[in-house]
């Protein structure tokens, strides 16, 4: 049996404003400097990551960050754990913080709750960037 199926893509679909902001920041620096380090994939979209890599974006992980000194490193919209900021300070890294304001608000709320010795439960995919950034 054949069905006549029509697929429509919503005109408002696409990346969230936090990711768009991070991509815009990355492109500006890539244009100026020719390269930029980014902690993890800037977005969960292989085509966009490859496009930015072709412009000079260098994807690194937190282990590689420990060996980078005196460079610019982009923190993607997903945010990062406090340890990342400590490593950056120790290595004279200029952090380009493109953390989404929604993520930052949640991080601050978790910190306040933690400081008040209250219980915190985080439901999310283990090892996923957003979850790591909330720890």
Ordered strands of the 72-75 beta sheet: 57-60, 36-39, 72-75, 94-97
Give pLDDT, residue 37: 98
DSSP-derived secondary structure for 73-103: EEE-TT---HHHHHHHHHTT-EEEE---HHH
Specify whether 130 is catalytic.
Answer: yes
What does pLDDT average to in each consecutive run of 10 residues of the chain (135 residues)? 79 79 94 97 91 98 97 91 93 93 78 85 74 69
- Where does 17-100 sit in CATH, by number? 3.40.50.11270
Strand 94-97 vs strand 57-60: parallel, antiparallel, or unpaired?
unpaired
Which pLDDT does position 85 carry in this prediction? 93
Contacts of residue 92, Cβ cutoff 8 Å, sequence gap at least 6: 69, 70
């Amino acid at each position: 049996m054949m069905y006549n199926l029509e697929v429509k893509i919503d005109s408002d679909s696409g990346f969230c404003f936090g990711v768009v902001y991070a991509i815009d920041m990355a492109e500006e620096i890539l244009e100026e400097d020719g390269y930029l380090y980014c902690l993890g994939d800037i977005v969960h979209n292989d085509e966009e990551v490859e496009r930015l890599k072709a412009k000079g974006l260098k994807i690194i992980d937190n282990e590689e960050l420990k060996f980078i000194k005196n460079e610019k490193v982009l923190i993607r919209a997903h945010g990062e754990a406090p340890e990342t900021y400590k490593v950056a300070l120790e290595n004279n890294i200029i952090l380009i913080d493109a953390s989404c304001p929604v993520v930052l608000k949640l991080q601050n709320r978790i910190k306040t709750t933690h400081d008040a010795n209250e219980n915190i439960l985080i439901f999310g995919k283990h090892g996923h960037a957003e979850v790591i950034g909330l720890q």
